[in-house]
Chain A
């Protein structure tokens, strides 16, 4: 009996969590998060000439690697962009792509002398439950560590 009761508890927890996450209310807006809650970008100057960009990605959502873009204030691309491998994802229309769930950290190399960096991020993602958000751009301005 304790084993089946424990299973029942687990099932109830899952059902409750699913409802809390809106998974049982397909088709309504409450089943999905607004884009700025599904994907939360941030950037920090971690060292002179080095920026770490981080996205927090809500459970049940993902970002596409091929939709990431990074521009500096003058429209220039950072010297080096280090993006981790994403999870392989097969899409019947887009073919083989890479996606990120939960969290993504990207390292950018930028001019060392700049005390401040204005960064424009481009990204796009979807909900696993079948909804996609338009390509998004976000502008961030950050203080850089002195050399």
Chain B
């Protein structure tokens, strides 16, 4: 019967861990408030062109906040480039507001040959992240806005292929 006590301890440990982990989850509820109308924004890209919500009307828009000092941000950029290029004709667009200085971003965009619009800013971008539901102020932070202008997904941390594919399967 000794094994039974091991099993009981195992179940208690599992339950306790799950409960403690779940407490925080309940406090944040990552997507519980979604979908909701996306906030209005105006962003200026490296070519000094202004971009507003209306410019992406009818498209599925991925906003990926990043910076050159953020290693996981740089790691996911090839994937974002690939998805942007592969699904642009279906109405999927990526934009990349960078919380960084213009020179660093411009150099990196050239090096990585990023084709989607890249914007640069600081406090304004933190404000936009906040209005999109960010609670950490850390990067990368990505959101998805559907064709109807509704904020439908949020993601903190590096995006992986399966994350992006799942978003496109659901919303494109």
A126 close to chain B: CB less than 8 A: yes
In the docked arrangement, what's the CA distance between A35 and B70, Å? Answer: 14
Contact between A16 and B15, CB atoms less than 8 A apart: yes
In the docked arrangement, what's the CA distance between A21 and B20, Å? Answer: 9
B71 close to chain A: CB less than 8 A: yes
In the docked arrangement, what's the CA distance between A1 and B72, Å? Answer: 44
- CB neighbours of B6 from chain A (8 A): 2, 5-6, 8-9
Kindly identify, within residues 26 to 49 of chain A, every residue whose CB is under 8 Å from any CB belonging to chain B.
26-32, 34-35
Contact between A131 and B138, CB atoms less than 8 A apart: yes
- CB neighbours of B20 from chain A (8 A): 16, 19-20
In the docked arrangement, what's the CA distance between A21 and B17, Å? Answer: 9
Which chain A residue has the least Cβ–Cβ distance from B21?
A19
Contact between A27 and B156, CB atoms less than 8 A apart: yes
A24 close to chain B: CB less than 8 A: yes
Contact with A along B125-169 (1 / 0, CB 8 A): 000000000111111100000000000000111100001000000
- CB neighbours of B31 from chain A (8 A): 28
The one of B21, B22, B138 in contact with A35, judged by C-beta atoms closer than 8 angstroms, is: B138
Contact between B138 and A132, CB atoms less than 8 A apart: yes
In the docked arrangement, what's the CA distance between A9 and B30, Å? Answer: 30
Contact between A131 and B21, CB atoms less than 8 A apart: no
In the docked arrangement, what's the CA distance between A129 and B7, Å? Answer: 31
The one of A17, A31, A94, A135 in contact with B157, judged by C-beta atoms closer than 8 angstroms, is: A31
A–B complex contacts, Cβ < 8 Å, 7 sampled: A12-B14, A20-B18, A22-B24, A25-B25, A29-B136, A35-B136, A132-B71
**CB within 8 Å of B: which residues of A?**
1-2, 4-6, 8-9, 11-13, 15-22, 24-32, 34-35, 67, 91-94, 124, 126-127, 129-135
